[in-house]
Every structure is written in C-alpha cells, then in structure tokens.
Structure 1
Amino acid sequence: MSSQNSKNVNLNGASSNKETRHIELSLKGSNLSYVPGDCLGIIPENDPELVTSLLEEMKWDTEMAVTINKQGDTLPLKEALITHFEITLLTKKIVQQAAELTENEELKKLVSEENINQLKEYIDGRDLLDLLRDFGPWKASAVEIISLLRKMPPRLYSIASSITANPEEVHLTIGAVRYTARGRERKGVCSVLCAERLQEGDTLPVFIQQNKHFNLPESQDKDIIMVGPGTGIAPFRSFIQERAVNEATGRSWLFFGDQHSSSDFLYQNELEKYQKDGVLTRLEAAFSRDTTQKVYVQHKMLENSKELFEWLENGAYFYVCGDKQYMAKDVHNILINVIEKEGVMTREAAEAYLNDMQKQGRYQRDVY
C-alpha cells in the first residue's frame, strides 16, 4: 500500500548533534490499521546521487534493461538501482562472487579462507561503490555485477501514534543516519530519504508489521513503566496517546533520555502536557551531555529504585525500546539490581523474578 506524507519536522533544536524526524503519513484509502506497539514497514529508494556516482564510476548505460526477478521483469538500469537493489551494504557472498569478476589479486587474497577476519572488517561500513572502486578493472558486464545484488529489504520503524487518537494516520520518529567514512559521506537509505527527500504530498510504499510481543496490557487499570531513550520514545508516544483516548485508570511512568535537554528532549511539550493532565503519572528525563558525569535512563531507574520496585510488586508492566547493544543490556542489569536491592533477595532470585515477569508478558522489549 502507499501512504502519503502530510508532515515532516525536525524534533531536535538547532544546537543538536542529532536530527530526529517526526513524520506523519496519511493512511486514507489504504485500509491499513494497527495497534500501539506495531511497526510500519517502508520500502525505500536509494539516493539518486549515489546511483549516479555508481553509473559514472562504471561508465554504465543508464537506460540498459536489466532483469530484476525470477519472473523476468526488467527495468532500465538506473531505475533498477534506485528502486530495486540494495547497494549500500556488502555481504561476504557478494564480495566472494565479485572476486570472480576481476583479475585483481588483492580481492582474490581478501576472499581466501585465511583472511576471513580481514574480509569481515572490509565489509563493515563499505558499500558497492567502494567495492567497485577498490578492486577494478572489472571484466564483468553491468548485468553480471547487478546479479550479485540483493533485493532492497524494507525498513521497520516503531509506530509513534495511536490510530484511535489519529484516525487514518500513522506517525514515525526517525533518526537520520549520516556519517563520513573513508573519505565519503554516508547516508542511511531510509532515514535520509525521509529526512531530506520526502516532500509533503509524496507517497511511500508501506505495510504494517504486527509486533505481537510488544503491546499494552489488555486491562486499562494496569500500571506501565516505559524506558525509551532517543527514538525509542516512538512506541511509548503511541501507548500514551491510546491510554489518553481510552481514559485508562492505570498509572504510567516514562523514562526518556538523550544528549541535551535544551535541544534533544523529543516531544517535550506533548509529554509535559500529558503529565499535567495526569495521563502520564511520572516523567523522568536523563540528559547525558548536560553534566560532567554522564546520566542515562538506567541511572534514573536506580535513583527511583524503591518506587520502581513498588510498581513492579503492584503488577506493573515494564517496557524497553531502543538500542539493543548498550542501552537495553544496561537497563536489564539495572532492573535486576533494583529487584535484588529493594526486594532484599539474592541475585538468582532477582533474575528469577524478572524471568517470571517475562513469562507473564510483563517485561517486553522492542530493541534494534
């Protein structure tokens, strides 16, 4: 289905190191529906500038017809590279197959058995243009090189709105990924498409991905504790909106974190209004760059460990959304610390308590 863009704003202030986009898409006529916790899949397009660089590097004919699937459908080469193929990520398989299309000794060495670690290192953060520049001259046709590529995978984003509160709309909170590596500016395929190239009135191909293990409690009177730093705030905005519309009686507590309170407090006005209206019972915010000692959401959890444990004992549901590598691990460990300390129990007993919560569906994570 396609969805039309109706709003696209940067949530960060001018002095921020980040760019987080709040995007509103219209679902009118799409028959798509979702519940809080679900994700929106977007099938993005590649940056036309990157595609042009590729075509120029290889001196390929932009209009040449290339086959894009097993059914034998074709597209002109430039269009196929923009809309159909993944060109910003390399895999071991692609590099190994590419080695057969060139006389380049360095590449042949890179894909040999004993250099598996160098190959992993090479792939990390490099793309098709890097590969083609690094290991030419290529004795392969455009068709042979294109046949190595994978189909563009969709990107999934946690939905940041409640359809009950915003009929026929879906909102997203997307952090634009931009960095410089090996002398070239790199851009996240979908995040920068949304940040830079998505104009009002443009449509995007989208679908709803259910997230069965990340949902509000069925009962409106259950308390919820939400930990969502950065773009991890997205599903909790949808939770809070839904509970506001349904006038839920359960209490809610949000832990939010980012770099600077002045420029990175995403949805600050909305959240503070929800707090004033009593929809959001508690709001703890941690800003890591505002103090000499970095303060993160897990520090705020420790500061409030007594109340946190009281909420858990009272049957609260605990949700975490955001970075899997660091944040979610830290939050998990701190949660065990809190249970151990406040519940006056052994580490093993605290871990068992948390496992039990998980079995009951009261500890849910949406991490990426």
Structure 2
Amino acid sequence: MQLQVMNSPFNQEQADLLNRLLPTLTESQKVWLTGYLAASQSVAATTGVEQQLVAPTAAPSAAPVVEQTISKEVTILYGSQTGNAQGLAESAGKTLEGRGFDVTVASMNDFKPNNLKKLHNLLIVVSTHGEGDPPDNALSFHEFLHGRRAPKLENLRYSVLSLGDSSYEFFCQTGKEFDQKLEELGGTRLNERVDCDLDFDEPAAEWLEGVIAGLSQAQAGGTEVVSPTAVAQETDTVYSRTNPFRAEVLENINLNGRGSNKETRHLELSLEGSGLTFEPGDSLGVYPENDPTLVDSLIKELNLNPTEEVQINKQGESRSLKEALTTNFEITVLTKALLEKASAFLKNNDLKELLANDEKVKEYIDGRDMLDLVSDFGPWDGSAQDFISILRKLPSRLYSIASSLSANEEEVHLTIGAVRYEAHGRERNGVCSILCADRLQPGDTIPVYIQHNQNFKLPENPDTPIIMVGPGTGIAPFRSFIQEREEKGAEGKSWLFFGDQHFVTDFLYQTEWQNWLKDGVLTRMDVAFSRDTDEKVYVQNRMLENSKELFEWLQEGAAFYICGDEKKMAHDVHNTLIEIIEKEGGMSREDAEKYLSDMQQQKRYQRDVY
C-alpha cells in the first residue's frame, strides 16, 4: 500500500521516504519502530525533548524500547509432558528479561493458584496430552482455574501459546480451555492465542513478538528506554531440535527371541563430538525418513516427475520432489484439515461429500495415508509444488532414553518397538520404527537431538526408594535409572514391575535385570507375561498381589514411575494405584485420590506415557 500525501500529514518528500522504507521492514522491525515512536512521544510530552533515532546494533528481533509501567512483572506458567512447552517458556523468559521485564517462569504444578489474582501479566505455554487432556503438571492448576474458587481477574493481561498435534481430534484443546477461561474470569488478552502443530518454532516466535508488542502498547506514561545493546542474546547449543546431530549407529539388535510376535530393536548411537548431554528420564528426538517404496508409489499415483524441484521452506530452499517427500514432509497421517486442502486439487465429488460429515471423515482417516487419499479420490489436478504446499513437515519421534550417560560415555541407547500392521487392504509400517528395524545399519547416521524432560527424573536424594512400572518398551527409561544408580552407588531401594507377552521370547534385557538383582542394584522385580497363562496377567495384577508392601514403600516416601502406553496401561495402573492406597490406607476413594495428587505435587508420582 502506497502512502498518499493528500490522505496524510506528511509532505511529498516525507511520503516518498516512507514509501521506500516501509516495504523493506520486517515484522520485528515494525514492532521495534512502533515501540520507539511510542516511547519518543512519551519522552517529548514529559521533557519537551525529541529523541534521536539510533539504528539498533542488536539483531532486528531485539525490540529496544520498554516503557515503564506500574508493573513490569511477567509470569510465564507452563504445562509440559515431554518438555517442549517448558523449553519454549524458558526461552520466552530469557527474551523478555532481555527487554527489561522482571520474569518468573514456573511449572503450573509449582505455582500457588491463590497468587493468580496478584498477577498483572500472565503468559501460558501449554501442551495438550492424550485425548484433549492437560499434561500431568498442569492438572491441578487447570482444575483450580475451572473450579468455583477461581478468582475474578479484571486486572490481568494474558496470552496463551498452545502446543498440539493436528492429527488428534482435540487439537490444542488444553490451550483453548485456558484461553477461554481466563477471558471468562475477566482477563484481557495481550495477544491472541496461537495454536501450534508439531512444527512449532515459527508460530511460537510470532506469538512472542505479538506478546512483546502487546506489553509495549499496554504501557503508558513511562520514560524508561532500554538500550538495544543491553538486550540479552540467547546462545543455543550447537546441536538442538532445529539443528540435529547426525549420530552414528553402533549397534542395532533385535531383543525378542525367535518366534515372538514382536520385534523390539535395541539401538546404540554414538554422540562423540556432539557435546550433547542428558539425564535419566530425558528423551531422544529422532528425525526419520519415509519409506522409499511408499514415496515411489505416491509419486506414481500423483503422476508427477520425481526429479522436479520443489521449494521446501520459506527461505527458498529446494529439493527434488522425491527427496522432499522422503526427508521433509509427512505422508502417512491424514487429518481433516489435510483433506480440505487436498480437495482443491482432487475434483472428486465423493471427497466433498465425505468432508460434509465429520463422523465419516474420522472413520476414513483412521489408518489411511496420502497414497490412499490420492488413489481413492484422484486424479491429482495440480503441480508438484501444489502437493508439497498442503503437507506438514515430517515431525521427529521422541523415544525414552534407555541408557545412562555416566555408564555409557558419549553414547545413547534406545528401545524401539517395530510397528507393522494391515489396514484397508495394505500392509502399513511405522515411519521411524521400521526405518530403525529394516533400513538402519551400523555405520549409518541419523539426525537426533536431546529432549530434556524435568517431569520424569530420579529423586534428588539417592536413598529415596523408587517403584517403576514399565511393560514392553516402557522398560527403556528404567534401564537408564538403574544404570545411573549403579554408577552413582545409590543406596535407595528399587522395585520394577515389567510385563510383556511371553517369558521366553519377550523378557527385554533379561540378563541385565537378573544381574542387577543378584548384585543388589535392583531390590525387587515382579513380572507379568500375559500370554503364558490361560488368564491374562498384567503389571497392575502384580501390583494388587503385592498391595500391602507397595503401600508400605509409598509410606516410606518412595517415588512411583510409569512409562508406556497411555490409553490402556497407564490408565489401568493409575486406577490400581488409587485402589491400593484406598484399601491399604483405610481411606475413602476421594482421600486416596488426594493422596496420589499430593504425591504428584511432591514429584513422587511421575509418568512418561505415549
């Protein structure tokens, strides 16, 4: 848009200068300039002195103007299951501190809800877990805010950054609920809520820019100007989620015996030269590649040229269509949003009818992929770039680390179950698990990064007893726990509940557990192999059989850990634990739930579930 002299207070020379300048400015520079002009106007009104515009010496994203307000305090609360929300909250805190704000960053679990009414500026960074549920460390705060004791918040300014996965029905549901409830309680938005999919870096950065602009615009009457050179510059580690390290495969072993219904891979990767460190309980992010056979079939169905160059990001980087579909974009998961985008290039009326019925959409996308979509509703009436434009980036996969860095220097171990199944007349494979099972050999490299998880950690006191429940691949972090406690000489008791299908073929890391039991590093182990008896036995059955002693351990201060499948196992173990507390503690159901909630507040009840 061109500035016209007749519609503005500027003369022709000024208008020409502005018309040349404005189109060249980034959004960050516009925010900087807006804040500067607001501060200059305030200074001039107070002192009668106009300020000289000084070109910023820091990066353009460093907004150099922060006006004095009644309160420069900003509280950032995060709810995080895997660590992404926590990382974003902490990064936002450093950025805002660099702008001159007094920032407090805390887990929702550690925040006293009664202090909510004392806040003036609140930022919420929260993920959505499972089927629209809050993360474990957000449960109590979420319950408080949606309960009768929640205070009126007319003096609160807030903004919500919500993390989720659009392939789930209740995308970013927890963030939406927080945003709506804070508004209902009288809060005023500093910036509109931003809902992030798995590729959250850019939208999160844009949200923070909007928050900074909102904080600046909301301030009035002040005179303090923060020099841009004083803005703190955050320095990331060399290797991170956005800059992964290519780790060499040292070992790739099938842990299951011959005749097993399962295939569980034990991967050992080298971190030599990466500088990456981790603690027991952390996860490893792995960037996989799509199955080349599936990619070839999809390109053939699209009737496109595999060597045609396509642009893969906003920076203009390009690759061949085949390479882009192999390494950059997700092609195995369908969502309603994806079907809607694809319908512009798939002229089949059946797809339009399908999209008109949400229940039929949910039924269709379950277990199908992009090849199914194009086969069922093709032909594709668009270019290769059109196809790329409707896809989301291929997300990393997070795996609980199965080793201790203290015990295995410059190495990281993973326990990965190979996913293979048949659906809708085709054999289907897990993207990352089958890459690891079938195509990753010792000597190959794979892009990885460390995902720190402060919500799943060994007790600070090594003498604290621990109880671990990890059937199947849920055993992974507990191997890390025991390796660490052995290396550190921890004296605390330890009790493991493990389960799988068959003792002979599916007892993962059997020799290691038996040696740790013999050496006293592991105090006790109870196992449940569900297919070895007429009546299926699971880990929760073993817990009930030992309910008296298990409750005694809890009374002694033991920390309780669950890792593995959330939908069934973790839910059943949770309810069994409440049942044990109720029975052995002589409590009501409500008191037993309160007992477990208190354990969670004390970080004595932690879950790493998926």
TM-score normalised by the shorter chain: which range applies?
over 0.9
1:1-12 correspondence to structure 2 within 5 Å = 1-12=245-256
Match of 1:125 among 364, 367, 386: 367
Residue 156 (structure 1) shift: 0.3
Match of 1:16 among 260, 267, 270: 260
Alignment deviations for residues 151-195 of structure 1 (CA, whole Å, 9 cap, x no partner) = 011000000000000000000000000011111111100000011
Residue aligning to 2:281: 37
Alignment deviations for residues 6-33 of structure 1 (CA, whole Å, 9 cap, x no partner) = 0000001111110000000000001111
Residue aligning to 1:189: 431
Contact 2:367 2:424 in 1 (8 A): no
2:343 alignment partner, SS class: helix
Residue aligning to 2:354: 110
1:100 alignment partner, SS class: coil
Contact 1:54 1:129 in 2 (8 A): yes
Alignment deviations for residues 287-312 of structure 1 (CA, whole Å, 9 cap, x no partner) = 00000110000000000001100000
Identity of aligned residues (%): 65
Residue aligning to 2:18: none
Contact 1:99 1:111 in 2 (8 A): no
1:365 maps to a residue whose letter is R
| CA–CA distance in structure 2, aligned partners of residues 337 and 94 of structure 1 | 43
1:264-279 correspondence to structure 2 within 5 Å = 264-279=506-521
2:375 maps to a residue whose letter is R
1:203-352 correspondence to structure 2 within 5 Å = 203-352=445-594
2:456 alignment partner, SS class: coil
1:130 alignment partner, SS class: helix
Contact 2:419 2:433 in 1 (8 A): yes
- Please list every run of 5 or more consecutive structure 2 residues that lacks an aligned counterpart in the other structure: 1-244
Alignment deviations for residues 326-361 of structure 1 (CA, whole Å, 9 cap, x no partner) = 000100111011111111111111111111111000
Residue 60 (structure 1) shift: 1.4
Residue 2 (structure 1) shift: 1.2
**Aligned residues between the structures:** 366
Does 1:79 find its partner at 2:314?
no
| CA–CA distance in structure 1, aligned partners of residues 481 and 534 of structure 2 | 33
CA RMSD of aligned residues (A): 0.7
1:52 maps to a residue whose letter is D
Alignment deviations for residues 198-253 of structure 1 (CA, whole Å, 9 cap, x no partner) = 01111110000011100000111000000000000000000000001111000000
Contact 2:474 2:564 in 1 (8 A): yes
Does 1:365 find its partner at 2:568?
no
1:249 maps to a residue whose letter is E
| CA–CA distance in structure 2, aligned partners of residues 140 and 27 of structure 1 | 43
Does 1:60 find its partner at 2:289?
no
Contact 2:415 2:473 in 1 (8 A): yes
Moved more, 53-62 or 225-234: 53-62
1:211 maps to a residue whose letter is N
| CA–CA distance in structure 1, aligned partners of residues 299 and 586 of structure 2 | 65
Q: What stretches of structure 1 move > 2 A for 4+ residues in a row? A: none
1:231 maps to a residue whose letter is T
1:5 alignment partner, SS class: strand
| CA–CA distance in structure 2, aligned partners of residues 333 and 12 of structure 1 | 30
Residue aligning to 2:137: none
Match of 2:405 among 156, 163, 171: 163
Q: Output the TM-score relative to the length of structure 1.
A: 0.98
Larger radius of gyration: 2
Q: Output the TM-score relative to the length of structure 2.
A: 0.60
1:275 maps to a residue whose letter is L
1:102 alignment partner, SS class: coil
1:129 maps to a residue whose letter is L
1:134-153 correspondence to structure 2 within 5 Å = 134-153=376-395
Residue aligning to 2:171: none
| CA–CA distance in structure 2, aligned partners of residues 211 and 286 of structure 1 | 28
Residue aligning to 1:173: 415
Contact 2:403 2:414 in 1 (8 A): yes
| CA–CA distance in structure 2, aligned partners of residues 8 and 138 of structure 1 | 40
| CA–CA distance in structure 2, aligned partners of residues 153 and 355 of structure 1 | 33
Contact 1:157 1:172 in 2 (8 A): yes
| CA–CA distance in structure 1, aligned partners of residues 595 and 578 of structure 2 | 8
- Please list every run of 5 or more consecutive structure 1 residues that lacks an aligned counterpart in the other structure: none
| CA–CA distance in structure 1, aligned partners of residues 379 and 528 of structure 2 | 52
Contact 1:66 1:76 in 2 (8 A): yes
